[in-house]
Chain A
Amino acid sequence: MNVSLVPTLKALKPAALVVGAAFVGLVFGYWANATLFPGPAQGTAYAPEQPINFSHKIHAGDYEINCQYCHTQARRSASAGVPSVSKCAGCHQLVVPERPQIRMVLDYWENGEPIPWVKVHDLPDFVHFPHKRHVAAGVECQTCHGPVETMDVVSRQAPDQMGLCLTCHKEHQVEFGTDCLTCHK
């Protein structure tokens, strides 16, 4: 067949310019979003603002309160759980109740309302991560959660990517630890 190349390209030029402009726009729009709203992206150092400035550094670091004193379900259940408001109020009804942040906690407690914490470590819904098994295996909380006892605001230290899980499972030769069904529901 005899189709000349140059006239065809010339004819397509207007359409190509439009598509090119759209593509440039796409890239620009994406970049604009990334710059203006960095937001909770993948990667590390995600440290969202919490409704109450609870400091793990004070509680777990200075006062050396055991992780499982508050996160009681970690050794019993798949989810570690977040302490109930009653747990906070248990101490703080007596301990410095007049400080503004504590006052906010006690307000929640007196109104019978839960504190709406923002989730920092959020695994996708199709992943089954049993805290119980890891605690039983002697994995320290800090292994995945980082040095929480030094954090004033909890930040995500380790990436919530599968690589984190697999590295450990391979290194410690977890029995059938690399089988997909071990973690994927």
Chain B
Amino acid sequence: MSFIDNFLARWQEYREPGYYKEFDYAWTMTIDLDRCTGCEACVTACQAENNIPIVGERGLAQGREMQWMRIERYWEGEYPDIKLGFIPMLCQHCDAAPCETVCPVSATYHNQDGLNAQVYNRCIGTRSCAVYCPYEVRYFNYNNHHWDAPLDEQLNPDVSVREKGVMEKCTFCIQRIRQAKDTAKDEERRVGDGDVQPACVQTCPAEALVFGDRNDPQSQVSQSMNDPRAYHVLEEVNTAPSVVYLKKVETDAG
């Protein structure tokens, strides 16, 4: 092929949304809003697993939040007919992610497992990805972070400690996925359903989070996705997220 033809063919490929037509594993998470109690166990589990720094009171007052998984709360109605709903919000690993399109240095991209990947040492900190993200799940390190010794003994060696100036977000616990693939490769098999659970999924007391491969029709997450209650948050933005929410059921108790 001539140079031009080659270039055009590759450009065509590049322009396809999501970069991959098929995923090797298609990691998906379902979150059942009817089961979520808002207890925030998932938030702390994620902090422990992923070396998430403590921002401190001053940083939080400036809006510099650092919670890869956060619980949002929304009130509905007025006293005494008042309700409160919780929704866990994390990186949706969108197959048509706006953040991936804007990064000037391609520090964020979609990998073959359907994950939206963030490469910390490539990031130059323009923060445009955070602006483009409709779910506001990207967080920026405004400071170099410090753990008062010996709190740093707890840091997870399988996860980078991020420096000032890079963006970070939920990775679906890629280190656990990598570990599960490693084990599976030793045993010459594919990663099975339930072999890998991100920290949040593992700890949720109400079992509201389910994680797995939607390419496998037998997996728990595939069954969960096909629930008639399934929906995407901000579906109208068309980002094709990999996180499926199950609608909360509202009934009269009586």
Q: Which residues of A contact B (CB under 8 A)?
A: 124-126, 128, 130, 132-133, 136, 176, 179-181, 184-185
SS of B interface (majority) = loop
Are the CB atoms of A181 and B111 closer together than 8 Å?
yes
Give which listed residue, A124, A126, A128, contacts B178 with CB less than 8 A: A128
Give which listed residue, B119, B185, B186, contacts A184 with CB less than 8 A: B119
Roughly how many angstroms separate A97 CA and B158 CA in the complex, as a whole number?
A: 40
Give the Cβ gap from A126 to chain B, nearest Cβ, in Å: 4
Q: Knowing A130-B182, A132-B182, A180-B111, say if A185 contacts B159 (CB, 8 Å).
A: yes
Are the CB atoms of A184 and B115 closer together than 8 Å?
no
14 residue pairs of the A-B complex, CB under 8 angstroms, read A124-B121, A126-B120, A128-B175, A130-B182, A132-B182, A136-B185, A176-B111, A180-B122, A181-B117, A181-B174, A184-B120, A184-B121, A184-B160, A185-B158
Q: Which residues of B contact A (CB under 8 A)?
A: 24, 109, 111-112, 115, 117, 119-122, 158-161, 174-175, 178, 182, 185-186
Please, which residues of chain A bring their CB within 8 A of the CB of B117? 179-181, 184
Please, which residues of chain B bring their CB within 8 A of the CB of A181? 111, 115, 117, 174, 178
Please, which residues of chain B bring their CB within 8 A of the CB of A180? 109, 111, 117, 119, 122
Interface centre among A132, A179, A180, A181, by most chain B C-beta atoms within 10 angstroms, is A181
Roughly how many angstroms separate A132 CA and B186 CA in the complex, as a whole number?
A: 10
Q: Which residue of A lies closest to B24 (CB)?
A: A176
Please, which residues of chain B bring their CB within 8 A of the CB of A124? 121
Roughly how many angstroms separate A150 CA and B186 CA in the complex, as a whole number?
A: 32
Please, which residues of chain B bring their CB within 8 A of the CB of A133? 182, 185
Please, which residues of chain A bring their CB within 8 A of the CB of B120? 126, 184
Roughly how many angstroms separate A28 CA and B209 CA in the complex, as a whole number?
A: 59
Give which listed residue, B112, B119, B159, B175, contacts A176 with CB less than 8 A: B112
Roughly how many angstroms separate A101 CA and B63 CA in the complex, as a whole number?
A: 59
